[in-house]
């Protein structure tokens, strides 16, 4: 069944950080939304290095 991940589970934060790192974006840098709310792309998570190798 393809309903559940059995190994190498990735969080949404890790997914976002991985995509940002692949694009050369600063996933750890605090940025601000149009309404002034601070956030980071990875929300404290880092990229999954295996996917970037």
Please give the Cα distance from 33 to 48 (Å, whole number). 25
**Domain annotation covers residue 28:** yes
Q: Return all residues near 3 (Cβ < 8 A) that are at least 6 apart.
A: none
Residue 2 lies in a domain: no
pTM: 0.78
Q: Copy the structure tokens of residue 34.
A: 């149009």
- Sole residue written with tokens 């969080």: 11
The answer as to whether 34 is a domain residue is yes
Q: Which domain holds residue 42?
A: 12-52
Residue 6 domain-assigned (yes or no)? no
1 belongs to a structural domain: no
Q: Check pLDDT > 70 for residue 49.
A: yes
Residue 1 predicted with pLDDT over 70? no
pLDDT at 44: 92
Residue 18 lies in a domain: yes
What are 3-43's pLDDT values in tens digits? 777 788 899 999 999 999 999 999 999 999 999 999 999 99
Look at residue 35 and tell me if it is in a domain: yes
Residue 17 inside a domain? The answer is yes
Helices first, then strands: H and E counts in the chain: 2, 2
When divided into structural domains, the chain yields a total of 1
Q: CA-to-CA distance for 9 and 50, rounded, in angstroms?
A: 13
């Amino acid at each position: 069944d393809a309903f559940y991940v059995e190994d190498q589970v990735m969080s949404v934060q890790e997914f976002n950080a991985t995509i940002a790192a692949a694009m050369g974006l600063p996933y750890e840098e605090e940025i601000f939304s149009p309404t002034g709310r601070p956030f980071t792309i990875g929300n404290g998570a880092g990229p999954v290095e295996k996917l970037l190798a």
